[in-house]
Structures are given as structure tokens and as C-alpha cells.
Chain A
Amino acid sequence: DAKTTQPNSMESNEEEPVHLPCNHSTISGTDYIHWYRQLPSQGPEYVIHGLTSNVNNRMASLAIAEDRKSSTLILHRATLRDAAVYYCILSARGYGGSQGNLIFGKGTKLSVKP
């Protein structure tokens, strides 16, 4: 599985936008880019995913570089509830890999200050 690189931690102020970067220079043409987040003491939850085009949903936006070697998860207005570990994951298919599994890296721990 292709690897991703994320900063270990980031800080944000409440109600400000947050841009979480992810580098995936060895991404292949069939790899989807997934983002999950894990709130304290909970299981991970799906945030967003994309292949080539930028994507928006009610939780966040995903901006994908033209060469697909990097992407950015955008939280438009951070809230205290957004404090979590954010994982950027590559998978070979839309549902998370050649066998459906997700390979988690270390992720970025996002802190949100009031």
C-alpha cells in the first residue's frame, strides 16, 4: 500500500478554517484518498474521500493536487468537537483497498483552542 506523510500535530483556533496536509508522492493511478478522524475514546469515523477532483460534503472539503501527490483536508470552521486525530489513507479501490481494509498511518492530532 502506498504511504502517506502527515504532520504529527496541528493547532487551530475555534471558528477558523483548518487545512490539514497529506503527502502521498507514491500514489498510483487507482488509489483513492480517504480521510478518517478519531475523536477521543471513539472509533474512527469517515470524513471524506476522492480520486482526482476536489470534493465537498457537509463535514469538510478535500482538495487534491493536480499531480495527486498531495491533498489537503479543509475544515471550514473548526469547532471544539473537531479536535481529533485525522488520518489520510490511500486505498486501491473506493471502499478502502484491494480487500476493503484500511491501512492507518500515525495521523495528525488536531487541537482546537477556544
Chain B
Amino acid sequence: SAVISQKPSRDICQRGTSLTIQCQVDSQVTMMFWYRQQPGQSLTLIATANQGSEATYESGFVIDKFPISRPNLTFSTLTVSNMSPEDSSIYLCSVVAGGRTDTQYFGPGTRLTVL
């Protein structure tokens, strides 16, 4: 299994500012994903962040708005840039880990509120 922590757990931000969310894994993993969960909705994949390559973004998400870093096999950051109230969501990271490529482990999420 993999244990994932995220920082911050929650934040309240002003419109127009940026927030960087950190995702730390207790083991080395190749595949890491960032999801968004808007209030009352299901999860939507933002991007895939594999170490050693550029992040791959899903339709509707762009690097300028959600830049991602993946400096090593245990850590990644997602920045939500130039925030608006529509960015208020829970942001979650997940990994495929533990040698079992059939299981994905999720972090607890970062609850972001933009005023």
C-alpha cells in the first residue's frame, strides 16, 4: 500500500491569488495523478504527473492554470493559479503503487475555498 499526505488540508484564498498544494508519498511511485472534486460532484482527472516527463493534462485543463511539478518519485505539487470562486473544490492526488498495478491510492484531499 501507499500512504499519501497532502498540504494544506484546507485553505481559504482570495480571488486572483495562487495556491500550491503538496502531495507526499511514503514510497517511490512512478504514476501520480491530480483530481478535482467540485462541491457535490464526482472526481475529475486534471492531469497525470509521471516523474521525468511533462505532466499530461486532460481536456479542459491547461498548464498555465494548473502547473504541476514532479521533482522526484515521492513528491508532487499542483498550483492553482489566478484563482476564481469557480476553483473552489477539493483537490486530490493519487498514485499507483506497491507493485500492484491494479490499485490506486488517494490522498485525503485539499479543500480550497476561493472568495
Residues of chain A having any CB pair with chain B under 8 Å = 32, 34, 36, 42-46, 49, 87, 93-96, 99-107
Contacts and interface: CB of A to CB of B under 8 A. Distances in A.
8 contacts: A44-B94, A46-B103, A49-B103, A94-B102, A101-B48, A102-B43, A104-B43, A105-B42
Nearest to A36: B104
Contact of B96 (A32, A34, A96): A96
Contact of B104 (A46, A99, A105, A106): A46
Interface in B63-115: 92, 94, 96, 100-109
Given A94-B101, A95-B101, A96-B96, A45 B45 contact: no
Contact of B48 (A36, A99, A106): A99
Contacts of B48: 99-101
Contacts, number: 62
A43 B33 contact: no
Interface of B: 4, 31, 33, 35, 42-45, 48, 56, 58, 92, 94, 96, 100-109
